[in-house]
Amino acid sequence: MKCVVFGGAGFIGSHLAERLSSAGHAVRIFDQHDRDAAGWAAGRRDIEWVRGDFLSAEDVRGAIAGCEAAFHLAWTTLPQSSNEDPAADVASNIIGTLRLLEAWRREAGGRFVFVSSGGTVYGVPRTVPITEEHPTQPITSYGITKLTIEKYLELYRVLHGVDYCVLRIANPFGERQRVASGQGAVTAFLHHAHRNEPIEVWGDGSVVRDYLYVGDVAEALARTLDYRGSFRVINIGGGIGRDLNQVLAAIESVIGRPVSRRYSPGRKFDVPSNVLDIRLARAELGWQPVTSFEDGLRRTLRWIAAG
C-alpha cells in the first residue's frame, strides 16, 4: 500500500515510517524538514521524502497524490504552548487539517488515520482507567483542537464517506523524542539524569500518567491499515499508571545511581491522573504493548548516550 505520513520526520512519525517500510508498504514522508535534517533518514532511500508546507494546499495535494492511506501526525503545538496562543493553535492545526481532508476526499481516498491525544482530550477523569466512552472535557487548547479534528473526521465520513480511524495515544517515550521542545517527561528526565543534571518536577511528583514505548505506538498505527471494524476511536496506552516519583525511581534503577530532583509548583493544565483503558485495542486491533517500561527506558538511555 502507498502510505503518506504527515509529520514523518518527527518523533512518532519517524518510527511509524520505518515500521510501514519494514512491512513492505511504499512510504512517503511529508514534512517541513528535509531528509538530512532528520538525521535518522539520511541513508533511507526506501522511504520517499517530500518537503513542504502543511498549510499550502498545493503542497498537500502533491503529497497525497497516488496514496491509498494517510497518517496525520503533523502538529505545531504541545499542551503548554497551545494554551499560550490558542489562536495560533487553531490556525495552524485545524485549518491545515481541514484543507488536507478536503484534498483527501476529492483527490485520494482510502484509509485516513489521525493521531489524537489520549492524555488531553478527556480532561480530569471521572473514572480510571479511561475508556473511549468517557466524557471529553479537555483543559488545554491542544486537547480541544485534537478533539475538534476527531469531530470533523466523523463529519467527513457522514458527508463524503471518508474512511478514518483515530488513535488516542497516551504518553509515548523513546528514541528521537526532542528534549529541547519540552516534549515527554520520561525522555527529558533520562536526558538530565544521564548528564547528571537536576530534574525539574512540576508539583510534588504525584501526577499519574500512562507511559508507553514509541515502538509499540508505531505498531498500533500500522495495524490500523488492516482494521475494518466498526470502532473509529481507539485508546493506545501502556495500561499502567505511574506517578512521576515512580518514574524517577525506575530511572535511578536503570542508570544505577540516585538522581537530583527539584520540585516546582504544579501546572494548572496537568490533570491529577490519566491512565487509558486499552481493552478495545486488544480486541479490535489485536494490539497490546510488548515493551516493558524498564526495557523502554534502557533503549532510550542507549540512544541518549550515543548522541
Q: How far is residue 74's CA from residue 31's CA, in Å, rounded to a whole number?
A: 8
Q: Which of 267, 199, 272, 221 is nearest to 114 (CA)?
A: 221
To the query of whether residue 142 is one of the catalytic residues in this protein, the response is yes
Q: What is the DSSP string of 29-74?
A: EEESS-HHHHSTTTT-TTEEEEE--TT-HHHHHHHHTT-SEEEE--
Q: 208: which 3 cell numbers? A: 499519574
**Catalytic pick from 122, 142, 156, 213?**
142
Stated length of the chain:
307
Amino acid at 227: Y
Q: Using an 8 Å Cβ cutoff, are 274 and 221 in contact? A: no
Report the distance separating Cα 134 and Cα 91, nearest Å.
28
Which residues have a catalytic role annotated? 142
